[in-house]
Structure formats: C-alpha cells, structure tokens
Structure 1
Amino acid sequence: MAHTVIAVYRPHEGQGDQTLELLRTHLPILREQGLATETDSVLLRSSDGTFLEIFDWVSAEAVESAHTNEAVQAMWERFAKVCDYATLDALPEAGRVFAHFERIAL
C-alpha cells in the first residue's frame, strides 16, 4: 500500500535554485530504485522559499530500504549541502485555515 508523504525542504541561504534542481531529480531516482510510485508528485513553494514535495512511497518497507540504498544515500548527501529538512508547522502558512502556496512545474 502506498504511503503519501509531504517532505519539506528549506534551502540554505542563496541555494533555492540548487535545491529546486535537486528536487527535479529526486522522484526519478526513487522510482529507478523501485521506491516511489508512478503517481504524479506535487511541488509547492512557501512564501519564505521553502519547498514542499508531495509524493507516494510504494510501501512502508520502501521507506525503510531507502535508508540503506546507496543511490538514495548519495542523493540525500547532495540535498544536505543545499537545504535542511523542516516540518510543516515551521511554514508561515501553517497557521492559516486555507494555506496558499506557489505550484512549481516539474
């Protein structure tokens, strides 16, 4: 059963473009490794420049196996150089009943 996740990426100062570039490769790599579904993802940008990526892992086991997958680990190392992971409640929009975000084309 698929597991939908909302991943939150806060770019380091001046690293927004680099973060976006990596996000465009994220799901294809997960799919190549058999970890993410073919369901279209959604990429959003918060008013503070933070990115939200909504996608589906193929299963709970896929999430776990990502932590030992060499291709995924290498990708996550590239992410660590340009952004930090954040939580939804850290977003300026989090306190709004109807939160609005900029949709980014992939």
Structure 2
Amino acid sequence: MSRIVIACYRPLPGKAAELEALMHTHLPTLKSEHLVTDRPSIMMKAADGTIIEVFEWISQAAIDAAHTNPAVLAMWEKYSACSEYVPAASIAETGQLFSNFAPFGR
C-alpha cells in the first residue's frame, strides 16, 4: 500500500535559494529510483520560509529502501547542507483550523 507523507524543510540561514533549487530535483530523483508513485507532489511555503511537500511513496518498503539507496542518500546530504527537517507541527500555520500556505514550485 502506498504512503502519503508530509515533509518539511526549513532553510538554514542564507540557504533558502539553494533549498528552493533542490526542491525541484526531489521528486524526479525519487521517481528515477522507482520509489514514488506518479502522483504529482504538492509544494508550499510557510511564512517562515519552511517548504512543505506532500508526496506519495510506492510503499513502506520503498521508504525503507530509500535509506540504503545511494542516489537518495546523496540527495539527502544536499538537503542537510541547506536545511533542517522539521515536524509539520512546528510550523505556525498548522495551528490554524484551516492551515494555508503560499504555493511553491509550479
């Protein structure tokens, strides 16, 4: 069964442009490794600059496989150099009944 996830990336100081550029490679990299479905991701930006992406893994096994996949690990290193992963609950907008964000990436 597929798994839909919410991933949140907060740019490190001075690294917002680098993170924004990297976001355009995320889903294509995962697709090239056959780890995600064909469902387009939804990307958005919080007021504090955090980028939120909602996307669909093929399965829990695909998520697990990502943790040993060289292409994914290399991509995750790039993410770590320009951002920190944060829980969705840490984003101020998620405290609203109807959270809304600025569109990003399209």
TM-score category, normalised to shorter length: over 0.9
The residue number in structure 1 matching 2:16 is: 16
CA-based RMSD: 0.8
Q: Which residue of 1 aligns with 2:104?
A: 104
Q: How many residues align?
A: 106
Tell me the secondary structure at the aligned position of residue 52 of structure 1. Answer: strand
Aligned residue type for 1:93: E
TM-score with structure 2 setting the length: 0.97
Which residue is equivalent to 2:39? 39
- 4+ runs of 1 displaced by more than 6 Å? none
Shift in Å, 1:105? 2.8
Is the partner of 1:39 in helix, strand or coil? coil
Gaps of 5+ in 1: none
**1:84 aligned counterpart, secondary structure:** strand
Kindly report which structure 2 residues correspond to 1:34-73, keeping only aligned pairs within 5 A, or say none: 34-73=34-73
Structure 2 runs not aligned, ≥5 long: none
State the alpha-carbon separation in 2 of the partners of residues 43 and 89 from structure 1. Answer: 17
Structure 2 equivalent of residue 94 of structure 1: 94
Give distance in 2, aligned partners of 1:76 and 1:86: 14
TM-score, length of structure 1 as denominator length: 0.97
Give the Cα–Cα distance (whole angstroms) in 2 for the partners of residues 12 and 90 of structure 1: 15
